[in-house]
A = this chain, B = another copy of it.
Amino acid sequence: MDMSLGPVSSRTTIQDGVYQQLRQALMNGQFNPAQSLTIAGLAETFGTSNMPVREALRRLAAENALEIASNGSARVPVVTAARLDDLCRARIVVEALATELGAPRLTPKDLEVLKGIVSEQKEIGRDKNIYTLITKNQQFHFTIYRASGSDVLIQLIETLWLRFGPYMRMLSTHVAPLIRAGESEPSGRHIAIVEALESRDFARVREEIIADISATQEVLRPLCPE
């Protein structure tokens, strides 16, 4: 496991720290599909007792980010083409709505932030690691969604992205070489989105967001097993 899960800072509760780190790692695709996460094992890597870990795992299972095996162990869900399509269909309607609401409310400062992210993505794409790229992509999308002001939508989208984590892992392992070779331009669509935002063509922003999701879906589907 080449993930950087260090001991948690005990400013919040230990359980929360464990939860947040696991959640972020899952969303970024840092676990393998079907990987099994044991309470004792994680407790050791986090340097805590079993207690905080088991509650964190149950919380993640309640969000459908993990599955509970028949013996009670937690597992990262497996990836399938059907589930990918199911997730993307839901993502499209929810994120399209969040975009509709958020795009018109983006401040000039927000736009600067978005442009900053895009240029950082260009930088990073060439040399740095894929996880930073995934995080930047996350920041870009959620900057728009957060502007919607809808807590409900944001939480819905977060659980969808969480469940999308295992697919992100496929992206990491299979697409990273392409990006490095310059055959894939990860920020391409984001540039179009920023342009549409600047011309305040919100209908087009919405379409671009949908296209962004669909494009990822098309890239990932052939990579799914079977």
Q: Which residues of A contact B (CB under 8 A)?
A: 7, 10-11, 13, 15, 54-55, 58-64, 68, 70, 72, 83, 86-87, 89-90, 93-94, 97, 150-153, 155-156, 159-160, 163
Contact = CB atoms under 8 A, between A and B. Distances in A.
Nearest 8 A/B pairs, CB to CB: A59-B62, A62-B62, A86-B152, A10-B70, A90-B152, A93-B93, A93-B97, A86-B150
Contacts of A59: 58-59, 61-62
28 contacts: A10-B70, A10-B72, A11-B72, A13-B72, A15-B58, A58-B59, A59-B59, A59-B61, A59-B62, A62-B63, A64-B155, A83-B151, A86-B153, A87-B152, A89-B97, A89-B152, A90-B94, A90-B97, A90-B152, A90-B153, A93-B94, A93-B97, A94-B94, A94-B156, A156-B156, A156-B159, A156-B160, A159-B159
Copies of the polypeptide in the assembly:
2
By secondary structure, the A interface counts as helix
Nearest to A101: B89
Contacts of A86: 150-153
A180 B70 CA distance: 46
Given A7-B70, A155-B64, A90 B150 contact: yes
A54 B54 CA distance: 11
Contact of A10 (B63, B68, B94): B68
A182 B10 CA distance: 48
A71 to B, nearest CB: 8
Contacts of A10: 68, 70, 72
Contacts of A64: 155
A87 B54 CA distance: 30
Contacts of A68: 10
